[in-house]
Structures are given as C-alpha cells and as structure tokens.
Structure 1
Amino acid sequence: MSVHHTRLIAALDTPSYEQALTWATELESKVDAIKLGLEFTYACGLDAVRNLAAKQELFLDLKLHDIPNTVASGLKALTPIHPSLMTIHALGGPEMIARSRAVLEEAFEGKTARPRLLAVTVLTSMNEESLSAIGINATPLEEVVRLGKMAIKAGADGLVCSAHEITALRDALGDGPELVVPGIRPAGSSTDDQKRIMTPAQAAQAGADWIVVGRPITRAENPAAAAQAIQDELQAVTRCR
C-alpha cells in the first residue's frame, strides 16, 4: 500500500479574468489545481479558460446535462483545453455517461492522459427537503450512493459528492473511483450556501481524493497563506490505499 494525500483545488468563482488570473498566480505553488466553472466560463469565454489552464492543472466544472449526443459533442468541443477533470450530471443517466466516456477515449486515443470524467451526484447545497421538492424521496446519502453506483458502472472515472457521503461510497465502490469533494470549510469559516460540509482534515480522513475550497481561500486577506494552511492540514492526515 502507498501513502495517499488528499489534493487541494481552489475554486476561482468570478466573472473577472483579471481577478482569476491574480488568484491563479498567487496560488500557483500553493494548490494542486484550480476550478473554473459556469460563472467564469460564461463571462470570459473558452480562450480565457485555456489561458489559465496553461499554467495550472484544471478542474473544468461545467456540469453538463442534456441528451447524450449533445453532452458528448459538448465534451468533444472542450477537449482542446485538456482539463484534468471534467463534470457531467449523473442524473443524465447511463447512456449520457457512457457516450461522454467514449468521446473522451476517442479524442485522446494514443495521446497524453485524457481528462477524468466526474459525475455530479447531489449538489452540496441540497438536503432531504430539497430532494423531496423535485420528487426524489430519498435522503441525500441514499441518492448519492444510488447515482454513484450507476455512474461508475456506466463509465465515469469518479464522482463529485459531499464529504458526508465519502465513507458510504468507498464502502459501495471501493478505492477505485476518484472522489472530488466540494463544500469544504476550514474550522471557523462561514458555511455560506453549503448544507453538507466538513473541514479539510475530516474530508481527507474520510477518503477524499480532492477537496474543493473557494471563498475561504479567495476571500481571505492573504489567499496564498489560507491555501497553505489548508495544505498543512491535509499533509497532517495520511492514509494508505
């Protein structure tokens, strides 16, 4: 067995290219990857995403969800950026996931490592009441495990889940799937709009491969120092896989 360390992704949620570039530059040696999502991509465009990805490992979190052909075509259009991680919604179903995996395999056949395909299970802003409102009569844990099993079977490399579901997913799926965990808040931080949260150390101990931290880093007086403090916390938690 090898010692496994949880890696840190900084979420650069801003519509400003200049602000994202400033954060990315400050954090270049402090985080393992950056996350760019809907806000930045829609505001700044794919050329801006590509420019930031040239200097830093990228988690491109666009959460695609449409009919299988449309999602597969969308992923193919994004492959020149070569993010390390890309997201689709597990609720799109097994055919959408399988087509997405196939298009990435085809695009990167015989080339460098392809992006890892992550299926989003239940958003960390949702709780049992939120699920009930959209007709899902299950707890977040039950729904995450159900969707997770389906998504991995269909071809996803990993899942996006809250820290509270890591243990159940590891029990159900083993160490193979890559688990990326948002909703991470260092002790004493505001919970903002997140409902299912944990500290970095708690998520690492539970078995997260990556944690995603946004506002506790980017809104800190010193983002680099905030990121380094989280890295120090993660480094203190080791586990074997």
Structure 2
Amino acid sequence: MSVFVALDFPTWTETERFLKDNDLAGVPVKVGMELFYREGPAIIEKLKADNHPIFLDLKLHDIPNTVHQAMKNIASLNVDMVTTHAIGGKEMIYQAKQGLAGSSTKLMAVTILTSMDDNVLERELGLSGDVEENVIRFAALAKEAGADGVVSSVHEVPVIKKHCGDDFLSITPGIRLADSSQDDQKRIATPEKAKELGSDFLVVGRSITKAENPRKAYEQVMKEWQHGE
C-alpha cells in the first residue's frame, strides 16, 4: 500500500523546491499531464534518481494502435503505474497492456473521474445508469482487457472488489484530510475512510501540497492511512 503525493506543479523547478523544502525525498509521487507535458521523460529520470516510486497519470485515450505504441515508450521509463481511460474500450485497454509487455509497470484504467457525478454522466455524456453502475461496468471491462486495476473514488472500491476480486487493484484520488477543502472534486473521502473501504493506493494532492506544513500533512495522511487515527 502506498500514498502518492500529487506533484501538480507546472515546472521541475517548483517541484524540486517543494520536495526538498519539505523533506519528501523518496516518497511515492504522482506525475500528471501538467508536469509531464512541460518537462517530458526527463522529469521521470530526475525523480527516480531520488528514489521516488512513480505513478504516471497520463490517462491515454486514442485509437488502440496509437495507445499501444505510446505505452511501449512509457514502458522504457520503468514507472510503477500508468493510466489509460477505460471509456476507450476493451481493445484499447488490451493494446495498452500489450505495449507494457516486458516491463513491471502496472496498467490502471480510469473509470469515472472524481469531478463527475450522476448529473454529468446523464446530461452531458448521455451514459445510462448512475456513477456506481458505470464504474462497475468500466472496471469489469478493464479487467477483461488485462488491466491490473482501476482508478476510482473511494466510495466505489467495495463494489469494484466485489465484482472484480480483491487482487484487482484500486487507486483512489479525491483524498482529503478532515480539515481540507473539497475544491473541484465531488466524490472525496479521508485516508481513514479509504482504508476502511479497501483502497490499495491513495493519491493525495492539495491536502499536502497546499498545507501550511506539507511534511506534517503527509505524515498525518500516512498515520490515518496506516492506523486509522
């Protein structure tokens, strides 16, 4: 079980300063589109040099062959996990997994973004069923296609485990300490709640990066996650 700190910074300079100033060398980190698109693969090498486990959250979504070729390049980076969108379909997920063949990188499929709710799914995307039903649908599809697990909110973890098995991994963003703001996420939870519901990995961003004392906030997240306190 790991807690990944979301490095939602625009540049390596700001990222490096944050990690060094707050004594966070070696902690698991999430690199998303904002930072990766600015710095490229070099950001991964710099983080690996400081022994950071890395969750590369790029949410690839394209035709199967393009995703396959992209994943072949990502495989060479030797990150711990990478994401694709489950809504891209079974063949795309399968080709993503094939692109990672020979590497130890785990493929995680994004189900429904934690910024979405039933209203968005129905009125904007035209998807039948509520959030939970769609998460189950996409999780089952991802497993059939060979993904190692899915990204979902904490609240869907129990039904994912029920339908896909306990060994199907679940990584959950939208984690907030009790005194943190909700921001733009709708389906959030505390580390303690995530542990209770069976999450395997957590992603924590603003509760740590925007805290007055990020190191202390990280330690509090770990305490709640490991001990439920």
Q: Is 1:180 paired with 2:171?
A: yes
Counterpart position of 1:82 = 78
Q: Is 1:192 paired with 2:183?
A: yes
Kindly, what percent of the aligned residue pairs are identical? 41
1:1-241 equivalences under 5 Å are 6-25=1-20, 26-28=23-25, 31=27, 33-55=28-50, 56-105=52-101, 107-108=102-103, 114-132=104-122, 133-237=124-228
Alignment length, in residue pairs?
225
Counterpart position of 1:3 = none
CA distance in 2, matches of 1:53, 1:78: 14
What 5-or-longer segments of structure 2 have no aligned partner?
none
CA distance in 1, matches of 2:2, 2:210: 20
8 Å CA contact 1:184, 1:199 repeated in 2: yes
Normalising by the residue count of structure 1, what TM-score does the alignment of the two structures yield? 0.90
With CA pairs under 8 Å and 6+ residues apart, which has the higher RCO, 1 or 2? 1
Query: CA shift at 1:53, angstroms?
Result: 2.9
Query: CA shift at 1:235, angstroms?
Result: 1.6
8 Å CA contact 1:57, 1:84 repeated in 2: yes
SS in 2 for 1:88: strand
CA distance in 1, matches of 2:113, 2:49: 28
Deviations 1:137-162 (A, max 9, x none): 22110000010001011100000000
CA distance in 2, matches of 1:94, 1:230: 35
CA distance in 2, matches of 1:64, 1:53: 22
Query: CA shift at 1:86, angstroms?
Result: 0.4
CA distance in 2, matches of 1:127, 1:74: 30
What 5-or-longer segments of structure 1 have no aligned partner?
1-5, 109-113
Moved more, 169-178 or 148-157: 169-178
CA distance in 1, matches of 2:48, 2:33: 15
Normalising by the residue count of structure 2, what TM-score does the alignment of the two structures yield? 0.94
CA distance in 1, matches of 2:165, 2:148: 13
Which amino acid is the alignment partner of residue 8 of structure 1?
Answer: V
Counterpart position of 1:111 = none
CA distance in 2, matches of 1:54, 1:135: 45
8 Å CA contact 2:155, 2:187 repeated in 1: yes
